[in-house]
Amino acid sequence: MKASEQRRVTVKDVAEAAGVGVATVSRVLTGTGSASAATRERVLAAAARLDYRPSALGRNLRRRHTGGIGLLVPDITDTFYARLADGVLACAKSAGEPVILGTTGDDPEREAELIGSLLEESVERVIAVPCGDGEMWGPAFRAGLGVVFAEREVPGRNLPSVRADDRAGVRTAVEYLAGLGHRRIALLARHGQEQRVRAFREALAELGVPVDEELIVLARGTRDSAYAAAAGLLQRRPDVTAVLAGGNMLGEATVLAARELVIRIPRDVSLVMFDDVPWAELCSPPLTVISQPAHDIGYRAAELVLRERGRPRTVTLPTELIVRASCGPRR
């Protein structure tokens, strides 16, 4: 095979050869960030052995950018993130900007790998639903990329972001359930939804309802994990009278687990779910939801990342509680 036809060596190849993470390779090759002398030596030796040519990690600061927007979301099959992506694409199309889409699976290492790939493609701007910490995003910041976070933020990074009003959404749902007489209310949330967890604790405290930490259950961003979390909660705590699901995947898992365990909604357990997805209204019974403007979040994030100056630091969009038949008074 001719050299020109060979696959280009990437930062992931260097990371595997050196036995370190992609973020560590990025720090070493950009010459910034912390890394031990031994680690630096292993990374540089691996890069030399593989004949790695850093198209962006080293040269992106010096050469002309090619433009475009990188979009990183946890799962494009999740209806919420699909609608968010659609909003980004709609705004990018009107601006004549291409979009490169990547899915992280809520895995920080996968996120770091995709950040490195976007740098290699000389992308100028990134919109992301982040799952890694500020250090993971260091190479992008140092390369001068415009970054806007959507739905979530990275602690310690004061960057532009667009998100729904989680606090108001959670508070409204908890107040509604408490008004129906519920006191043993559980929260199912995904890792990365710390704001919703904090809002849940605050809402209970404001209502004078004791916070039972066993009723706050976190799941990874997969359907299997969501189902395990929902089924485990309902089996372990039969005294729960209401569940707030932090996303449509968790709401779906709660409905499925309840059916398997012959738990009736809302007679035995009331259910409120984040995201007004199409199947929520078709479910039996139709689900009460906290509607989030997913498309608008994506569109506004794209507007922010395309605007060079005068960008507000944070845009917060309203949520709405849509009451259907999945909630009833405590029996």
Q: How far apart are CA 139 and CA 144, in angstroms?
A: 9
Domain 1-54 has CATH 3.40.50.300: no
pTM of the model: 0.78
Cα 309 off chain centre by = 26
Q: Around Cβ 175, how many Cβ atoms within 10 Å? A: 13
pLDDT for the residue numbered 58: 43
Neighbours of 91 (CB within 10 A): 22
Give the whole-angstrom CA distance, residue 188 versus residue 197: 9
Mean pLDDT of 173-186: 97
Instruction: Report domain extents, the chain.
Output: 1-54, 166-292
Q: Considering just the CA atoms, what is the radius of gyration of the chain in Å?
A: 22
- Residue 175 CA to residue 186 CA, distance in Å, equals 13
pLDDT at 41: 79
Work out the pLDDT band at 66, boundaries 50, 70, 90.
low
CB distance 302 to 99 below 8 Å: no
Lowest mean pLDDT among 104-113, 167-176, 194-203, 306-315: 306-315
As a whole-number percent, the residues of the chain with pLDDT over 90 amount to: 58
Say if CB 196 and CB 153 are below 8 A apart.
no
Specify the pLDDT at position 123.
Answer: 87
Euclidean distance between CA atoms 74 and 79, whole angstroms: 11
Q: Judge residue 284's burial from the number of C-beta atoms within 10 Å of its C-beta, 0-12 exposed, 13-18 middle, 19 or more buried.
A: exposed
The 10s digit of each residue's pLDDT in 260-269 is: 999 999 999 9
Class of the domain covering 166-292? alpha beta
- SS3 (DSSP) at 321: strand
> End-to-end alpha-carbon separation of the chain, Å?
73
Letter for the amino acid at 179? Answer: G
